[in-house]
Amino acid sequence: MHKSKIITIIGARPQFIIAAAISRGIKNHYPDRIQEMIIHTGQHYDDNMSRVFFEELEIPEPEYNLEVGSGSHAYQTGEIIQRTEQILIKEKPQLVLVYGDTNTTLAGALAASKLHIPVAHIEAGLRSFNKSMPEEINRIGCDHVSTLLFSPTQTGLENLVREGFDPGTLPPYHIDKPGIYHCGDVMFDNVMYFSQIAEKKSHIIETLGLEGKDFILCTLHRPQNTDNASRLNKIMNTLNGISRENQALFILPLHPRTAKMLPQLLEAKLLESIDKNPFFNITAPMAYFDMLMLENRCQIMITDSGGVQKESYFFRKPCLVLRPESEWKEIIDLGTAVIVDDDTEMIRDTYYRFQKEPPQNFPPVFGDGKAAEFILNEFVKFLDSGLQE
Ligand code: UD1
Ligand code: UDP
């Protein structure tokens, strides 16, 4: 059978996690039809932001690591475009696969589309309607140069239709005649697949002394929060306050961006109060299985992460969203997650309300755990159509 070459371009933590489901699907269902080659852009490079995910999730070793590292948006995006272009010219893939909304996503999509290589975008259609977020620009740019667009939610599909994508388009698809799909969430596939494995392999509950204890799980890494002294102080002060007055245990695995900013931007008194609060546990970033265990066992999640918001829903946990808006309209509308932004009163009120009355209703809005299979079947149909070869 003729094998088609797909190049997957990934570089940031959530992309490693999502890509694992697609790589697994290729290995299990299409080993003779699809040859996957991975480019790691090097956007994330610390072991606990990158290597650990490749090992745990058994993601194939990348053929290329561009080692772009950190820098301004223009630096990161520009370097990835240039370095990716050379590889795409050499490797001549039939399809390029990008995920989400990072600089890696946009750069990969631009490099490929300008070489007339079709792009498949997984997590297409999500919108915050807030272009001060770099991710919003990345998503819109990427969607509009893609040929196959896979939205995890109905809202994502509707956003695409509002921007002029036609859900009635029939194959053969092309950059000017793209195919759009509502396919469910690949991160949900992963949670279904890895939760049992995490129960066996992770020891984080014992390591952090959490057996039989209630705790709150927090993550914080959006530049709107980490790079803005007023917001950062307000949020951390509110969380530390709740923790202190209730002796409530908070676990906060810290993204390296936030780890850098806390000592620079937090007021000295607050920093000291957090340091001395025995119930406020700031840790290094978690490996994925450890994170799944914490999500599974915690009472409430408080986050500005896109992926963690969704995972709160998968684990049927209430969630406070430390942002002014959310791309995950479904879970906000259902009330299992609440947009609290940096508003002290909202954070406190919502926290106490969820403590008293945790939400019970979590209807399936993220698919059936088979999004990756759906996506791969569409890839094969597209590749079989042969027009792009
Ligand atoms: C990026 C994505 C964001 C995503 C997040 C996932 C963009 C514009 N943003 O944000 O959408 O939610 O990844 O985690 O692409 N750093 C390290 N070690 C690392 C990686 C980063 O120390 O391995 C530090 C560096 O100081 C760096 C900062 O974190 O400047 C930010 O990293 P960067 O990749 O630019 O953005 P993220 O905030 O991680
Ligand atoms: N995650 C993890 N360890 C952590 C924090 C997050 O494994 O310490 C996982 C989380 O379970 C989710 C993904 O990383 O699957 C979300 O990535 P992140 O919050 O970095 O980015 P976002 O989703 O906001 O783009």
Grade residue 280 by pLDDT with cuts at 50, 70 and 90. very high
Do 319 and 217 form a contact (C-beta atoms < 8 A)?
A: no
Q: Is the CB of 303 under 6 A from ligand 2?
A: no
Q: Tell me: the pLDDT tens digits for 124-160?
A: 999 999 999 999 999 999 999 999 999 999 999 999 9
Q: What is the mean pLDDT of the chain?
A: 97
Q: Would you state the pLDDT for residue 193?
A: 96
Gap between the Cα atoms of 304 and 224, Å rounded: 10
Gap between the Cα atoms of 42 and 67, Å rounded: 4
Q: Tell me: the pLDDT tens digits for 219-253?
A: 999 999 999 999 999 999 999 999 999 999 999 99
Separation of CA 11 and ligand 1 centre (Å): 10
List of domains in the chain = 4-185+367-385 (3.40.50.2000), 204-356 (3.40.50.2000)
Q: Is the CB of 219 under 6 A from ligand 2?
A: yes
- Measured from the Cα of 292, ligand 2's closest atom is 11
Q: Which amino acid is at 327?
A: E
Catalytic hit among 40, 121, 182, 221? 221
Does the pLDDT value for residue 386 go beyond 90?
no
Cβ neighbour number for residue 275 with a 10 Å cutoff: 9
Gap between the Cα atoms of 156 and 179, Å rounded: 14
Q: Examine the residue annotation and report whether 29 is marked as an active-site residue of this protein.
A: no
Does the pLDDT value for residue 298 go beyond 70?
yes
Separation of CA 386 and ligand 2 centre (Å): 37
Does the pLDDT value for residue 306 go beyond 90?
yes
Does the pLDDT value for residue 215 go beyond 70?
yes
Backbone φ and ψ of 300, nearest 5°: -140, 150
Grade residue 388 by pLDDT with cuts at 50, 70 and 90. very low
Q: Is the CB of 51 under 6 A from ligand 1?
A: no
77 closest CA partner among 134, 18, 118: 134
Structure tokens at 185: 């969430």
Name the strand (E) or helix (H) holding 269: helix 268-276
Distances from the Cα of 59 to the Cα of 11, 50, 196, 250, angstroms? 13, 11, 18, 31
Q: Would you state the pLDDT for residue 2?
A: 82
Separation of CA 74 and ligand 1 centre (Å): 14
Q: Is the CB of 13 under 6 A from ligand 1?
A: yes
Q: Is the CB of 104 under 6 A from ligand 2?
A: no
Q: Would you state the pLDDT for residue 1?
A: 67
Q: What mean pLDDT comes out for the span 362-388?
A: 92
Any idea which ligand is nearest the CA of 254? 2
